[in-house]
Chain A
Amino acid sequence: MIDNLFKVVIMELTQEEKALSKKFQIFKGKELKRVIHRVKGKNLVKFSKLMGNKNPKYIGIEKEDGTVDFSNVIAHPCYPNCFSVGDNGAAFDVTGWRFPPEEGQEEGFKVIRNFGKLLHTAQEYDYSTAEETIKHGQKLNVTGFMEEIYVKSEKMWMIVRLEARTQENKLVVVSKVSTCVTKGGF
């Protein structure tokens, strides 16, 4: 499923939009800075409880002394948001990307010139090829790349594909983050 849903729109670019998209193609395929995410049981539980989850599979079982044994707790299916977007997320790296410097410039223009114009437009978490479940104690390597970047309807659209793997290189989730930057922000 993950490879089909995000690509529909790409085919619908006008000739003008294709021309506007051209300068951004140097970022297509660019890898994101790797993020290491340590999965802590207490955070898994906090996340699930915030959604109102009461299933011991996601929140554990409180022992008589008030502590929770996290060893069997697994992540809520949307927990990967904690390492996908936001300040600690792998996709956040894109906000620092720059074009190569032009003549006379020390550093090039930022791809996203105004962070306030950035909108999160779609998100996908896919576990269908996962080899292991996200659980307490894992140290995840989160890597990814810019899968698509283009201009459409006066907005710049970006699709980032992320993978999170354990230290043993077992895939735990594939995530896609779609964002757009509105007029004046790119």
Chain B
Amino acid sequence: MVKLSDLEIEKKIVYIYGPVERENVRKYASISGDRNNIHIDDDYADKMGLKGIIAHGCYSLSMIGECLCDIAGEKGDVLNIYGQMRGMVRPGDDWIITLTVKSIDSGTRIVEFDYVEESKTLIKLVKDGEVLKEFEAEQRGWITEKDEAKGFLKTEETEDGTLHYRLRKAIPGRAKIRLEK
């Protein structure tokens, strides 16, 4: 739970969830009733040109709902969630959600956020020019020239070597909560 006094305009709150598990995508399909095979069956998704299953946009949106539940706390309320599904999220990805406070009404205790949910897709781990590990993104060809052109490809130094990954926008949107007293 976040207190009203903890917040100020433009303050950022970051949540990281994941990695997305195939089994959980299937569970989401079952619970939500959205059983489109592109979320369930890798072979079918391959035939649709998707190179494997993708997570439901609403599953990714629900993770933003989860952040809002956490911020609102036990007695607060989530009043509105709006999101645009812009980029596919796949098994193995992390969700990185950054919420930015846009308005605070101390009388009603209503707080509005803009947020961006990004997906972090691991590509490969390299040390001294040698590829130590290839992740599914590399094996299935999920990374495209467009990713490179748009500057989505990043690296990060780790104890085991240089981690190559893609970071791109999955869902941008807005949300509104009422904090508890």
Our pick among B27, B77, B79, B80 for the contact of A50 (Cβ within 8 Å) is B27
Do A123 and B35 have beta carbons less than 8 Å apart?
A: no
Q: Does B57 contact A (CB under 8 A)?
A: yes
Stretch in B66-74, B124-132, B139-147, B156-164 touching the partner: B66-74
- Alpha-carbon distance A127/B57, docked complex (angstroms): 20
Q: Does chain B have a CB within 8 A of A52?
A: yes
Tell me whether A89 and B82 are in contact (CB under 8 A). Answer: no
For the complex, would chain A's binding face be called helix, strand, loop or mixed by DSSP majority? mixed
A85 touches B34 (CB 8 A): yes
Question: Is A138 interfacial (CB-CB < 8 Å)?
Answer: no
B65 interface residue, CB < 8 Å from A?
Answer: yes
Provide the bound-state CA to CA distance between A122 and B170, in Å.
11
Q: Are B77 and A127 in contact (CB-based, < 8 A)?
A: yes
With known contacts A76-B65, A125-B81, A46–B31 Cβ distance under 8 A: yes
- Taking CB as reference atom, which chain A residue is nearest B57? A120
The answer to whether A123 touches B83, judged by C-beta atoms less than 8 angstroms apart, is yes
Assess whether B174 is in contact with A51, with CB atoms less than 8 Å apart: no
For chain A residues 102-135, which have a beta carbon within 8 Å of chain B? 116, 119-128
CA A58 to CA B176, docked complex, whole Å: 19
Please name the residue on chain B nearest to A2 by beta carbon.
Answer: B80
- For B84, list chain A residues within 8 Å (CB): 121-122, 178
CB neighbours (8 Å) of A55 from chain B are 69-70, 74
Is the C-beta of B48 less than 8 angstroms from some C-beta in chain A? yes
Nearest to A175 among chain B residues (CB) is B81
- A87 close to B34 (CB less than 8 A): yes
B85 at the interface (CB under 8 A from A): yes
Q: Tell me, yes or no, whether B33 is within 8 Å of chain A by CB.
A: yes
Q: Is the CB of A52 within 8 A of B57?
A: no
CB distance A81 to B27 under 8 Å?
no
Contact A86 B77 (CB under 8 A): no
**Contact A125:B48 (CB < 8 A) given known A55-B74, A86-B34:** no
12 chain-A/chain-B pairs, Cβ below 8 angstroms: A2-B80, A5-B82, A76-B65, A77-B81, A86-B33, A86-B36, A120-B85, A122-B84, A122-B85, A126-B79, A127-B78, A128-B79
